[in-house]
Structure 1
Amino acid sequence: MAPGLVTVLYTADTKFDMNYYLKNHMPLVHSSWKKYGLKSWKVIEYGEGSLYKVQAILEFEDESNWTQAAASTEKDTIMADIPNYSDKDCIIISGAVTGAAS
């Protein structure tokens, strides 16, 4: 099965506390969804002129693992944490990896 990737985006006009996000929110995401096959995550911060301020990429063992995580009660806890670091909701897109190189 192909890995599933989830991209979480915050628009450029978002007030965002990166310190809280990295020290509290992302560890919450990792500990909550590891049992659903979350393998890794990365956070990217964009500069001036970008449409987005922050992007998080979550890698799951496969796309069905993300489906399980998204339907879990842990998702409610994770989403309820957003106001602690952002004044806007996130945009979430997901899909299965169909090609890659390293």
Structure 2
Amino acid sequence: MNQVIVYVTYQGEPATRFDRRYYVDHHLPLVLRSWAPYGLEGLAAFFPAVDQVGVIALCECRFRDEAAVDAAFRSPEAPAVMADLPRFTDVVPMRARAVAL
């Protein structure tokens, strides 16, 4: 099985509300705690080097395989992960899956 990466991106502009500190200190640990039992192997957050219009934050979630992604997003913990979003942004995240060739 191939590892699957889910990229979660947040689009906006410099004035868009996005609390980076909350995201890194609280939301990402919640995601890891919630989905590691289902096969989330790690994650990392990235922010643009300069204020810009477009992607204002990106998270790379590394899952064991496709089944792990599906299990995490269907898990009983998923609603709590999603309910945490308004605490740090008003942006609706976009997700894209990627696999190695």
Give the superposition deviation at 1:2: 0.2
Q: Percent identity?
A: 31
Note the C-alpha offset of 1:98: 2.5
Residue 9 of structure 1 corresponds to which residue in structure 2?
9
Match of 2:89 among 63, 86, 89: 86
Shift of 1:65: 0.3
Deviation of the 1:49 alpha carbon = 3.3
What is the TM-score of this pair, normalised by structure 2?
0.90
Structure 2: distance between partners of 1:86 and 1:49: 17
In the alignment, is the contact (CA less than 8 A) between 1:37 and 1:65 conserved in 2? yes
Q: How far off its partner does 1:50 sit?
A: 4.9
What stretches of structure 1 move > 6 A for 4+ residues in a row?
none
Establish whether residue 44 from structure 1 lines up as the match of residue 46 from structure 2: yes
TM norm structure 1: 0.89
Q: Is the 8 A contact 2:10 2:57 kept in 1?
A: yes
Structure 1 unmatched ranges of 5 or more: none
User: How many residues are paired up?
Assistant: 98
